[in-house]
Amino acid sequence: MSLPGTLGAMCGIVGYVGPQDARDVVLEGLRRLEYRGYDSAGIAVVADGRLSSVKKAGKLANLEKLLAEQPLPAATVGIGHTRWATHGGPTDRNAHPHLSADGSVAVIHNGIIENFASLRAECEKNGVEFRSDTDTEVATHLLAAAYAQAAEGPGRLADAMRAVCRRLEGAFTLVATVATEPDTLVAARRSSPLVVGVGDGEYFLGSDVAAFIAHTREARELGQDQVVEIDRHRGLTVTDFDGGAVEPKAYTVDWDAAAAEKGGYDRFMLKEIAEQPKAIADTLLGRLGPQGELVLDEVRLSDQELRDIDKIFVVACGTAFHAGMIAKYAIEHWTRIPVEVELASEFRYRDPVLDRSTLVVVISQSGETMDTLMALRHAREQKARVLAICNANGSTIPRESDAVFYTHAGPEVAVASTKGFLTQVVACYLVGLFLAQVRGVKYEDEVSAIVADLRRLPEAVAEVLAGMAPVRELARSLAGANTILFLGRHVGYPVALEGALKLKELAYIHAEGFAAGELKHGPIAVIDEGTPVIVIVPSPRSRESVHDKVVSNIQEVRARGARTIVIAEEGDDDVVPYADHLIRVPRTPTLLAPVVTTVPLQVLACEIADTRGLDVDQPRNLAKSVTVE
């Protein structure tokens, strides 16, 4: 349940305990996590028996400038935060860290504390004066009070954190430090991301591993409703909220710091678009067995359980929802199992009919998308089996699912998803093929033939990318448009929706995607002289002459003055007379075509936004992952 007037959020959290200067480590971590929130930023360190903190509204550069003017003391313990606002506007006073009344306790927070209003009233009744509009400050004052009451000695701050967490409702990650314990950090998580990095005599906390990947690849998973205490001398201790000991799962991060850098590109998004051939190839890697059969080791459901499935729901948000729409066409065609595609934010509220024979496929790039997580939990309550498609190893959604298919897109820093989307689509194809294989709907040689087509996709995407210079030139001519429409049929329809979403996200232009067959049922009325209309044309080899119908749609909009921009495969000459601008893509099997037809739309949106002088990597009002409902 979300609070009135709040927005979904994702914030960047960094913590450090060790021999290095905490100021430098934390600030470096915040730079890597700024994509998670850029409304404000702040740092607190413990030195000489006191807490020192600096915070500032706006992007991280504002904080760095302030730190140059008001330097913090050298320290071996520090915490940092980059914020995407929920409770309270993006102001200096609402920036994290939040300090207790006496300045001895500092807290940073990601998520929403849903019962903050009653807890704030309780604090105010006890004489606490609030200095911000945030729910985080409630946790800070509660923690300070609990710390004052906790028994002195090792584990005191962790005891206080557990006591506070048992009172909180909602989704949260909390990280705290206290002036009287200069070698200790304590953190807690419920339905909000947090990972621990383990180095040589040092420890790190982060919203994701990018915060500490420059220092260590060794990480620990922090599970649901757990508290971690990090002490420079006593090491790492994890418990549940009731104090029961937990052994955290260790894993090694399989990408390095260079993967999170721009690699010579002007924008992270440009780099990530260029990385798509490799990301697709990595997602396909190791999926085919010695006899040509598909092997998905991470799918922890038995063959019999998969044979028992009689209905599939694909549940996702935003771009991942469009991947799910594409999945429906492929999975139904290959398996003959009915598939419904649902927005995660609507799924559980309409009381869907689920049972043990239902497979719910949840798609989330971050593995922390709160709407999708809550849909997953609802599905499991109804005894449905859940398979997660995710890019983030060890994140909440895969951990709470019955099975998982990890994409291998690598880190995606730009807020608008590109390689994350294409690898989700490829993962959906592989899941559909695996189901068809297990259920005996397709023979191994048929599966192998489709996998061979999939393996040609990286080369096809690379070919598309090599020919994007005319698309960038076209984009610059469209930068002044007020409205751009997208049309598609069959698998081209979700591609049209994704193209429109990218343009809205990046360029702030009104854009809509339509099923081309619906054109005459209303949308054609908005077409005026010069209105750009982008049409994704299916292959002439597609079923039931849908290609010819789309060519007719192009003629219809052109007759009404539209400026037609046509994406069609090589060799399709039928579209030439009706295209003001023609973008060619390699010939690809119909169901797999979205992987190549999406790429020009990504480039187009990115270039239009750049021409308009906008921040491509960090669009206004958006965050990388929505981690509250």
Q: Annotated catalytic sites, by residue? A: 11, 624
Residue appearing with tokens 């001398």: 233
Secondary structure E strands in 489-627: 510-515, 532-536, 563-569, 581-585
Q: How far is CA 552 from CA 11, 259, 555, 557, 559, in A?
A: 48, 45, 5, 9, 11
Q: How far is residue 158's CA from residue 507's CA, in Å, rounded to a whole number? A: 46
Q: How far is residue 415's CA from residue 417's CA, in Å, rounded to a whole number? A: 6
What's the distance, CA 302 to chain centroid?
29
Contact 241, 228 (CB under 8 A): no
Q: How far is residue 396's CA from residue 398's CA, in Å, rounded to a whole number? A: 6
What's the distance, CA 459 to chain centroid?
26
DSSP 577: G
Reported residue count of the chain is: 629
Q: How far is residue 271's CA from residue 248's CA, in Å, rounded to a whole number? A: 34
Residue appearing with tokens 């306790």: 105
HEC string of 35-51 equals HHCCCEEEEEEEECCEE
Secondary structure E strands in 49-116: 50-57, 77-83, 98-99, 105-113
Q: How far is residue 25's CA from residue 629's CA, in Å, rounded to a whole number? A: 32
CA torsion angle for 624, 164, 229, 136 (degrees, to 10)? 30
Q: Cis peptide leading into 4, omega within 30 of 0?
A: no
Helical packing angle, 444-455 and 419-438, nearest 10°: 170
Cα dihedral sign for 503, 504, 506, 509?
positive
Contact 376, 386 (CB under 8 A): yes
Contact 26, 79 (CB under 8 A): yes
Amino acid at 81: H
Residue 213, both tokens: 């990947």
- In sequence order, which residues have a C-beta less than 8 Å from that of residue 473 and are 6 or more positions away? none
Nearest to 331 by CA among 387, 293, 278: 387
Residue 295, both tokens: 């092997």
DSSP 249: P
Phi, psi angles (nearest 5°) of residue 203: -135, 150
Cα dihedral sign for 222, 226, 232, 234?
negative
Q: How far is residue 178's CA from residue 192's CA, in Å, rounded to a whole number? A: 23
Residue 253, number of CB atoms within 10 A of its CB: 20
Radius of gyration of the chain (CA): 25
